[in-house]
Amino acid sequence: MRGLIRVVIFIAVIWSAYWFVAGYGLRNAITTWFDKQQDVGWQADFSDVSTAGYPFRHVTRLNNPALADPVNGTAWSADWIEFQSPAIWPGRQVLRFADTPQRLSYYDQTATIEASDLQAELQLQPGVALVLEKMALTAGPWSITDEAEPQAGGDTLALVMEQTPIPVAYSVKARIDGFTPGDDLRTLMRSATTLPQAFETLELDMVATFNKPWDRSALEQSRPQPVKIDLKLAEMKWGALRLFAAGELDVDHQGIPTGEIAIKAENWRDMIAMANAAGALPDQAVDPVTRALNFMAGLGGNPNALDLQLNFRDGFVALGPLPLGPAPRLILR
């Protein structure tokens, strides 16, 4: 019995030593990363750092973190952020964000984000490169405001990006329940007052292939760039409006996509009006597009439903036979 007690005490001492050493290493890695960002010209600050969670977890909290990249004009700040991981493997991190307002800026535009139970999960492969295996962002009720005016909100948020058996390909799934566009967005789209306040469905399911895996170099050097997108399903239901899309795109080194996206739209005339109001469809194109789509819808037997294809060729995009203009560049900065 006495020998068993000695063994238990020995194991407890060894584990405690490991916990403190690993906790110190994790804490030092986080603070060193902030220091390195300062060396390359970022603002990277926090007021203090603490470690807790003994004996089975490491919980590292940074109070008043602030990050700003002067190159692309983005900045973020919050009251606190926590890094949680199993003591046995720090490469499985859960980042918990403060329920209090966070601020996200792009040059002189600042948005305030409030979210309940907002957290990000990171699963990294063991090794120096820290290759991303899975990233998930989830939240309860959330909202985004700009100068106290609501811009968007929702009941839940779920975004998952997970590495497939092909190391450079990632499955991306997103779902927002109860997505509510703000007044400015509704006004911009001139959405009908008969539309409900919240979307019924807003979902995305796709596989994106990049030119390299997502790892620590994505933050410290350059972002991986998409080379292929397999859109399995994008779905939006908002009152009488229905939109479904699926297809595949190849993306060259300049970010120019080539391929086709099949689209099914219900109550498409309202969508044309909203696209025109948002500036995506020029005024001079509204009548020709409406006449052409009305003809195509008639061929399908249902004048309120459209089955079309977005064609991406030679740097341009067309909706069926109708040219829409230059294709967007798919470049992550």
**pLDDT tens digits, 163-192:** 999 999 999 999 999 888 876 666 655 555
Sign of CA dihedral 325, 330, 332, 333: negative
**pLDDT tens digits, 184-241:** 666 655 555 556 777 888 999 999 999 999 988 887 778 899 999 999 999 988 877 8
pLDDT of residue 272: 76
Distance separating alpha carbons of residues 304 and 155, to the nearest angstrom: 30
Distance separating alpha carbons of residues 220 and 240, to the nearest angstrom: 45
Of the ranges 172-186, 248-262, 269-283, which one carries the lowest mean pLDDT score? 269-283
Average pLDDT over the chain, rounded to whole? 86
Residue 199 lies in a domain: no
Residue 128 lies in a domain: no
HSE of 236 in the Cβ direction (CA atoms, 13 Å)?
14
* Domain, as residue range, for 27: 1-107
The residue with tokens 């689209």 is: 263
Residue 8 lies in a domain: yes
pLDDT at 300 over 90: no
Residue 184 lies in a domain: no
Highest mean pLDDT of the ranges 37-41, 180-184, 260-264, 266-270? 260-264
pLDDT at 270 over 80: no
**pLDDT tens digits, 48-87:** 999 999 888 999 999 999 999 888 889 999 999 999 998 8
pLDDT of residue 4: 76
Residue 102 lies in a domain: yes
Residue 1 lies in a domain: yes
Residue 329 lies in a domain: no
Residue 235 lies in a domain: no
**DSSP-derived secondary structure for 131-179:** -EEEEEEEESSEEEEETTEEEEEESEEEEEEEE-SSTTEEEEEEEEET-
Report yes or no: 310 and 328 within 8 Å, Cβ to Cβ. no
pLDDT at 160 over 80: yes
**pLDDT tens digits, 5-33:** 887 888 888 988 888 988 888 899 899 98
Distance separating alpha carbons of residues 106 and 205, to the nearest angstrom: 28
Number of structural domains found in the chain: 1
